[in-house]
Structure 1
């Protein structure tokens, strides 16, 4: 059973690089704030109190001294997953906006992309200073302007189709050790159809609001959890 439930999007803050403007933008779109472990300290530095802190508490051990009530702390001691993974799988919401999960340690950032795939049923956008990243759903319509950068990066072998891209993806066998789709571009509105979980969509940071709206309108198109990506701690 999830720790946090909502019928509206939720903001999740981590311990990576966070610009106050990015946190503000996320909270405008998803006002409830949850922290992944040490992300609570960043939220407090910005003057925002997270309503829940989820993680192993190795980075956020002094948050109680900063005023976070004990009942808001949800310690998960297992070390087989990251704090982002722990938080993501314990938030039940139509969409999670993750800020503070990029820009410092590349291994942590890569682990976040791994978690997006492992929890393909959890809709999540990772918000960085220059980009927004999500796992492509089965079908997605993006009302983009011409020449907008659209990058597609595979975390697993996957195929799909597109309409509106400068370089269509039909017939491309995407794979981490094969074809990738970085630096494509929109000719205008874009439609993507993806055959299996495994393809990251990377757009410019200015596309955040549009991407949120597009994902929320595709409520029925996200992949159900696949057994091969199931976390063993949840078995």
Structure 2
């Protein structure tokens, strides 16, 4: 363990083996830092926050800050961060609220670029990239392997499904289906995240079937409810389509992001 003399560590903080805390960092009460966590310098881990092993936090990031919610009156709430994350400069992660789950949860193996913000009670999966100044409102839910472009913003209670991509500057006021590709202000659904699918090893035949299912679901004949049932029946053997259908059918707080809207 290596702690710079200028760092301030609360007596109740728990530090695992191999933790490195650089100059002028502040580690507050109720903080738990896993093995090999590295706070580079000038990092604030405010309170009641757990940071998983091998996570690196860069200068001037503030994690575990109070939720930005007028109803918060100092109640005990938490932030839980998984392992092997990279959190770059000026990123801000807020704790949960009593009005929500009470916990903001962040997964593992994520990259949060400069100025990324995670609001209270949000849930972020694994292998997520949030580019510079991407913002999540309170209670947002982000699936695994999502890419959020620079300066985009996801509305409070919004959902972005697994494997989706959100373009830079997009205002995401509607839920984004798994593997979807959205951009614009306000963001519209423009198709599937083909780049992400190819990077994950999907072959041409698999992508062709997914595109056919997408067209039937969003561009086919009949009302949307009927197209959902028809697509589920025709392409039910594709797990990705099953995930999209389940996402659409889930009881949601925000409307669905659709093509042309």
Q: Normalising to structure 1: TM-score of the pair?
A: 0.24
| Higher RCO, 1 vs 2 (CA within 8 Å, ≥6 residues apart) | 1
Q: Computing the radius of gyration over CA atoms, which structure comes out larger, 1 or 2?
A: 2
TM-score normalised to the size of structure 2? 0.22
